[in-house]
Structures are given as structure tokens and as C-alpha cells.
Amino acid sequence: MKIGIIGTMFLSLSFADSVNQQDGLWIAPDEANNFTNPYAEDEAAQAEGREQFEVYCWPCHGYEGRGDGIAGVGLPVKPKDFTTSNVTMQSDGALFWKLNTGKGNMISYESLLSEEMRWKLITYVRYLAENGSVLSSKNK
């Protein structure tokens, strides 16, 4: 019985994953929308998030979050452009869930960064998403 349930879960998970790989969609579960970003629109948190983004995330996501980082070029599923509606329409909670969960080359950051820092990163991702082209501190 146990094996049956686990087997079914595995099958449906790998099926969902192959579907997502094909159409490029990655959808967070509805519950994720209930997580509230404690640092939403907090400028100090956004600045801290930016520092971390420019350490961990830019190689794939690009300094401006356009998904054009040098390390993302060869990936089978490209990092999405944070400024497109596909990303801007998602809740902070959904993006946080993705950062925690990971998928394919987007690894899970849950055990790598504190919860606080993960939310601050989402605050910065949201800022990039809504402000489009920003000059990174490295370009100034």
C-alpha cells in the first residue's frame, strides 16, 4: 500500500515535471500565495537582497533580472525574465516558494540562505520585476 502511494506520487511528480519542462511553466501551489513577505517594499531589505542577488543569482538571472546571465545561456530551461507579466503577476509567496523548492537548474535555496535573507531576495526580485532596467551597483 505504502509503495503504491509513493509510486503514484513519483509518477505524477515526474509527469508534471516533464510537462513543465516542455511548456516552460512552473506553477507554485495555491497555498504559497498565503505566505506574506515580511519585507515587502522595505528599502533596506531590498538593498540587502540586492547584495545577495549580485553574489548568488546574477550568473543565471542577469544583473537586471532579465534571465540573460552568462551561466543561463546554455541551460535547457532558461531563467525567466523577471520583468515579464509571467513573473510580475505572481505573488511574493509564490516566488518565495520557488526559491525554497527549486526546479532543474534552479536549485533550492532553503538550506543555503536564512529565511530572512530569502524574503529579502524576493523583495529585490520584486523590485527588479517592477522597475525593469536598473543600473546594478557593479555598472555604476
Residue numbers of the site for ligand HEC (CB under 6 A)?
26, 56-57, 59-61, 71-72, 75, 77, 79-80, 87, 90, 95, 98-99, 103-106, 109, 121, 125
Which residues touch 126 (CB under 8 Å, ≥6 apart)? 37, 40, 92, 95
Separation CA 61–CA 54 (nearest Å): 10
Taking the least distance from each CB to ligand HEC, the nearer of 12 and 114 is 114
Q: How far is the CB of 64 from ligand HEC (least distance, A)?
A: 13
Q: How far is the CB of 8 from ligand HEC (least distance, A)?
A: 23
Whether the CB-CB separation of 81 and 67 falls below 8 Å is answered with: yes
Taking the least distance from each CB to ligand HEC, the nearer of 72 and 93 is 72
Whether the CB-CB separation of 40 and 112 falls below 8 Å is answered with: no
Q: How far is the CB of 12 from ligand HEC (least distance, A)?
A: 17
Q: How far is the CB of 106 from ligand HEC (least distance, A)?
A: 3
Separation CA 66–CA 132 (nearest Å): 8
Taking the least distance from each CB to ligand HEC, the nearer of 45 and 99 is 99
Other C-beta atoms within 10 Å of 3: how many? 7
The radius of gyration of the chain from alpha carbons, rounded to an integer in Å, stands at 16
Q: How far is the CB of 14 from ligand HEC (least distance, A)?
A: 14
Taking the least distance from each CB to ligand HEC, the nearer of 8 and 70 is 70
Number of H helices, E strands in the chain: 6, 0
Taking the least distance from each CB to ligand HEC, the nearer of 6 and 13 is 13
